[in-house]
Structure 1
Amino acid sequence: MNSAKHPIQAVQRTLDIVDVLKEKREARVTDIADELDFSKGTIHCHLATLEQNGYVVKNGQQYSLGLQFIDLAHHATDRVDIYDITRAEVDKLAAESGEMALFTVEEHGEGICLYKAEGEDAVQTELYVGYRNKLYHTAVGKVLLAFMPEERREEIIRETNFEQITPNTITDPGELRAQLTEIRERGIAYNHEETIQGLVGLGAPIRDQDGTLYGAVSLIGPVSRMEDERLTEELPKLIRRAVNIVEVNITSL
């Protein structure tokens, strides 16, 4: 995410407080002041303003995020035209595959999970709606990179700090570019234990007739169930069918 050239310190301070509450779930003024190295008076003023507007609630001496953020989340997802259509297909995909299915879009150079559905045998991970991931090490992220405009793709790759998350994670930009070329030819991206050891993912892009990229759909499951023809034939067929239905409906938006 790009840094602001002239950040407004009061706004940044408020956002830092929100981030602390997000991580800690609840905290006292003293805890937040110590975490951010600000005075208790400053933190209290920011919290009071947030509380007045419904973004923070106070229970005794503890503060936590308010449900007003749910309203914001609704309006954020509502601007994604294909959200409702894709959500329905992701539900079907999870039910048919038995695995975890995701709808993800790119924003600020990261993959943002907008919707998650769990099949009967879905593995439990830390993934949640709103979860952010770098694009280079996930199936859905690589498929987004592969099908976005070249200029945008190269900008993201240049700004990416490649980390060795697992032994299988790609850390070389040249190797990533070569894999993205294969993904464009195949139409399916894979994540072979590159984010979490023991988990495999595959994803496909959602595009309109002009090639505009709207997002991507993916499936995640354990290595023991994601192999051979199921990984290369059965699951890609399910994903392509789900994506096709969404893409057909894009024309009516």
Structure 2
Amino acid sequence: MTEAKNPVQAVQRSLGIVDILRDGDGATVTEIADEIGVTKGTAHCHLATLEENGYVIKEDGEYVLGLRFLDLAHYAKDRIDVSDLATTEVDKLAEETGELALFTVEEDGQGVCLHTADGEEAVQTEIYVGYRNELYHTAVGKAMLAFMPPEKRDRIIEETEFEAKTSRTITDEATLREELEQIREDGAAYNHGETIQGLVGAGAPIRDQDGTLYGAISIIGPERRLDEERLKNEIPEMIQQAVNIIEINLTSL
């Protein structure tokens, strides 16, 4: 993530409060003051300013995030030209496969989920709209890494702090680059239980005729249902059909 050269402390504190309220589903003034290391009076000043502008509200002695963030979220999502097209196709994929389908974009070197759709048998995960994840261990992340401009890919990989999420997670640059080369040849990326043990997936990038990368879509499910045969053949074919429809419609945007 890009770091500010001259961060404004007051802004950082307010943003820190927003994160605390999100992560804890609300908090008291005392809890927030202790968390960010300021006096209760300072914490209250930040909260009062956020409350005055509709970003937080007070309920039963605790502060929680306000619905003003919904307006910002809709605006941010609408900036993505392909969002509506991808949403429609992801919904179809979830219905056809019965599994969890996602639309993800890259921002600041991370994957950001912009839409999820649950099929009838979809697994329940922590993934939600706005959920962020590293690119190196997910199908959508690797799909985007493989097809983004080389300079950007190199920078992201060099800044990646590899961590073994499971025993199958790629944990070194050389192995990742080798897999990305294979993804460019195949047009599809895979997650073989690299993020959550027993949960697998396939993904493919969304690009226009000039090769500009818009994001990626994927299907995720348990290994017992998405066995190797289905994961490598049926699922990628369905994803690619959805991607083709999106990419054809991109020309009219």
Give 1:142-161 correspondences, 5 Å limit: 142-161=142-161
Please report how far the alpha carbon of residue 230 of structure 1 lies from its aligned counterpart in structure 2 after TM superposition: 1.3
Q: Deviations over 1:27-59 (max 9, x none)?
A: 100000011111111110010011111100001
Cα deviation digits, residues 76-99 of structure 1 (max 9, x gap): 001001111110000001000110
Distance between the aligned counterparts of 1:82 and 1:99, measured in 2?
22
**1:199-231 Cα deviation digits (max 9, x unpaired):** 001100000011110000001000001113311
Alignment correspondent of 2:201? 201
- 1:105 maps to amino acid: V
TM-score (norm 2): 0.99
Alignment TM-score, normalising by the size of structure 1: 0.99
Structure 1 residue 18, shift from structure 2 partner: 0.2
What is the deviation of 1:60? 3.1
Deviation at 1:109, TM superposition (A): 0.2
For residues 217-232 of structure 1, what are the structure 2 equivalents within 5 Å? 217-232=217-232
Alignment of 1:110-149 (within 5 A): 110-149=110-149
| Structure 2 residue 74 is the aligned partner of structure 1 residue 68 | no
Structure 1 counterpart of 2:192: 192
Which amino acid in the other structure matches residue 42 of structure 1? T
Q: Percent identity?
A: 65
The letter for the 2-side match of 1:176 is: L
Shift of 1:233: 1.3
2:246 alignment counterpart: 246
Root-mean-square deviation over aligned CA pairs: 0.6
Deviates more, 1:228-237 or 1:54-63: 228-237
Q: In the alignment, is residue 4 of structure 1 matched against residue 4 of structure 2? A: yes
1:67, 1:228 → 2: CA distance?
43
Structure 1 segments of 4+ aligned residues over 4 angstroms from their partners: none
Q: Return 5+ residue gaps in structure 2 as ranges.
A: none
Residue 167 of structure 2: aligned partner:
167
